[in-house]
Amino acid sequence: MAGSTGATPSMPSRRSFPASIAPRASRFDREQKGPEMIAKTLKTLRRPLFAALLAGALAAPAAAETLADTMVDAYRHSALLDQNRAVLRAADEDVATAISALRPVVQWILKQSFQRGDTTQNGFYINTRQTSLALQAQITLYDFGRSQFAIDAAKENVLATRSALVGVEQDVLLSAVQAYLNVRSAMEQVDLQENSVRVLSQEERAAKDRYEVGEITLTDVSQADAAVAAARASLAAAQGNLEVARETYQTVTGHMPKNLAAPPKPPKLPPSLDQARMVAQKTHPGIAQAQHLTAAAELGVSGAAAQRNPTITGSVGVTSSRTHTSATDRSQTTDVGVASIDMSQTIYSGGALSAAHRKAMAQRDSARAQLLNTSRQVNQSVGTSWSRIDVARAQIKAISEQIAAAQQAYDGVREEATLGARTTLDVLDAEQSLLVARANMISAEVDLQLAYYQLLSSMGLLTVENLKLGIPTYDPSAYYNAVRNAPYTSTQGKSLDRVLRAIGKSE
């Protein structure tokens, strides 16, 4: 907003977004595309990103919350991450369940039976009571790969769930960035509106003074009064938006924002849109998840086909029984041991096996289509984020020119008004144009900052590890390594307990 005559209007003290952005570099030579170039690009992107976040943290006052602090708090506070970590642990247990199909099943059976005879001896019924205790063990010796297909499919599902967890991590961090920028933007809008109220109040007092000496009419004073009232209404709306942004920030991070530092320098972009898309196809967790789900579906088809094959099982058992007959009032004990190898195969199941095989093939086709669709969506997301950066840059450049012109126009109109060549309404209109331009600049600069991090998310690079936030992260392999072999013994159980306690502390 404008200040006194001839003075440049003061901007909000908290504002620190970059006013201009350098144009991006030219495209890579298409002949340089390949895995080595992608790896080089990833390494190039990570260094400036870490440096930017570190510079932002060092430049901020000791008590200020940086963007990196906000992302760390969001990562530690997120219940959504906790939920999906539990989902991953459940998927880990599916591997243990699949492995258990190839292990022995040992069980004991205690049986008590009573039989009343149909004939009598010496006028009494013959009653027989039998008690038996059996210990049996059964194991699948060979099922022609059916169990192994299930194990491999469960492992692919674990990898898919891990990728999904990375996707959730990206969403959490992007929400933190958006909450941080929204609070910063809302604070600047409040400062802008407060400045507008001050300036218009000065205009209102000046209009009343001029009315007292007969330079303007009561209509001009009323216009100034209306402008002040409108500015106060806009200030109230801006303050309400700030409270909404603060509440959102608390939901994301677990605490209210305090003194937010200026955002760091935007992360470095890939040299071209094509290069960004190549990186995204390699690193985006959504694509990795779809790839693992497709592999699991392929294994599901093989497993369904293997259901038609024979199954060879082995079993051993020991039974001890005691029989008591009332006619003789004597008991007889019998101990029996049995060992056998069985081979069985389903000849006809009413079409269930064929239906299961067709279902598995349909699920495989669905997974393949989903992989293709996810790849296309990632490309679209990268292109959209890239375009948003271009649009925001162009807007900032145009709005900068608009602000300069609006400032010059306001200064001129106000000077002319003191000479009687302009009306109070002309001054108010010029002031409003300058206000709108500055408000648009705040929005455009926030849009640019957010678009950078949206692009990182679209490329699969918005993670704690890639951002080098310097905090311990959840290890998805710790629980898997503890349970993948279906632990039962006390030593393994104690190890699993330690893992569970560590997970509880990290969350």
Q: What are the backbone dihedrals phi and psi of residue 112, each rounded to the nearest 5 degrees, phi first?
A: -125, 125
pLDDT of the residue at 184: 96
Dist. CA 133–CA 395, nearest whole Å: 84
**What is the pLDDT averaged over residues 352-364?**
96
Degrees, nearest 5: CA angle 144-148-149: 95
**What is the pLDDT averaged over residues 4-27?**
36
3-class state of residue 8 by DSSP:
coil
pLDDT tens per residue across span 260-293:
999 999 888 899 999 999 999 999 999 999 999 9
**What is the pLDDT averaged over residues 369-374?**
98
CB within 8 Å of 332: residues ≥ 6 apart: 322, 323, 324, 325
Instruction: Count the Cβ atoms, other than its own, within 10 Å of residue 118.
Output: 7
pLDDT tens per residue across span 81-106:
999 999 999 999 999 999 999 999 99
pLDDT tens per residue across span 145-156:
999 999 999 999
Residue 345 exposure: Cα atoms within 13 Å on the Cβ side: 8
**Quick check: 224 pLDDT over 70?**
yes
**Worst-scoring range by mean pLDDT, 23-32, 409-418, 434-443, 477-486?**
23-32
| Gyration radius (Cα) of the chain, Å | 37
Dist. CA 97–CA 11, nearest whole Å: 63
3-class state of residue 420 by DSSP:
coil
pLDDT of the residue at 502: 65
Dist. CA 245–CA 273, nearest whole Å: 32
pLDDT of the residue at 27: 33
3-class state of residue 125 by DSSP:
strand
Contact 464, 405 (CB under 8 A): no
**Worst-scoring range by mean pLDDT, 14-28, 190-204, 233-247?**
14-28
Contact 380, 388 (CB under 8 A): no
Tell me how far the alpha carbon of residue 71 is from its chain's centroid.
Answer: 12
Contact 254, 65 (CB under 8 A): no
How distant, in Å, are the alpha carbons of 73, 164, 178, 464 from that of 84? 18, 8, 22, 16
**What is the pLDDT averaged over residues 22-44?**
46
Q: Which residues pair with 320 in a beta bridge?
A: 133, 335
**Quick check: 25 pLDDT over 90?**
no
Residue type, 459: M
Contact 463, 166 (CB under 8 A): yes
**What is the pLDDT averaged over residues 41-53?**
56
pLDDT tens per residue across span 433-443:
999 999 999 99
How distant, in Å, are the alpha carbons of 68, 333, 467 from that of 470? 10, 71, 9
- Of 84, 18, 90, 7, the closest CA to residue 56 belongs to 18
Q: Which residues pair with 323 in a beta bridge?
A: 130, 332
**Residue 304 banded pLDDT, cuts 50, 70, 90:** very high
What's 16-56 look like in SS3?
Answer: CCCCCCCCCCCCCCHHHCCHHHHHHHHHHHHHHHHHHHHHH
pTM for this structure? 0.79
pLDDT of the residue at 33: 46
The sign of the CA dihedral 23, 452, 16, 444 is positive
| Complete DSSP assignment for 226-247 | HHHHHHHHHHHHHHHHHHHHHH
End-to-end CA distance of the chain: 47
pLDDT tens per residue across span 390-413:
999 999 999 999 999 999 999 999
pLDDT of the residue at 381: 97
Dist. CA 395–CA 384, nearest whole Å: 16
pLDDT of the residue at 331: 74
pLDDT of the residue at 38: 56
CB within 8 Å of 453: residues ≥ 6 apart: 173, 174, 177, 267, 462
Contact 151, 346 (CB under 8 A): no
Q: Which residues pair with 129 in a beta bridge?
A: 114, 324
Dist. CA 36–CA 283, nearest whole Å: 14
Q: What are the backbone dihedrals phi and psi of residue 114, each rounded to the nearest 5 degrees, phi first?
A: -140, 130
pLDDT tens per residue across span 69-83:
999 999 999 999 999
pLDDT tens per residue across span 317-329:
999 998 877 666 6
Domains located in the chain, CATH noted: 30-101+143-310+345-474 (1.20.1600.10), 102-142+311-344 (2.20.200.10)
Q: Which two tokens stand for residue 321?
A: 């029984």
- Indicate the DSSP class of residue 66: P
Please give the biggest Cα pair distance in the chain. Answer: 140
**What is the pLDDT averaged over residues 3-32?**
36
CB within 8 Å of 139: residues ≥ 6 apart: 102, 103, 104, 105, 313, 314, 315
Contact 111, 131 (CB under 8 A): yes
State the chain's mean pLDDT as an integer.
85
Pairing of strands 311-325, 105-121: unpaired
More confident residue, 10 or 460: 460
3-class state of residue 339 by DSSP:
strand
**Residue 167 banded pLDDT, cuts 50, 70, 90:** very high
Contact 361, 297 (CB under 8 A): no
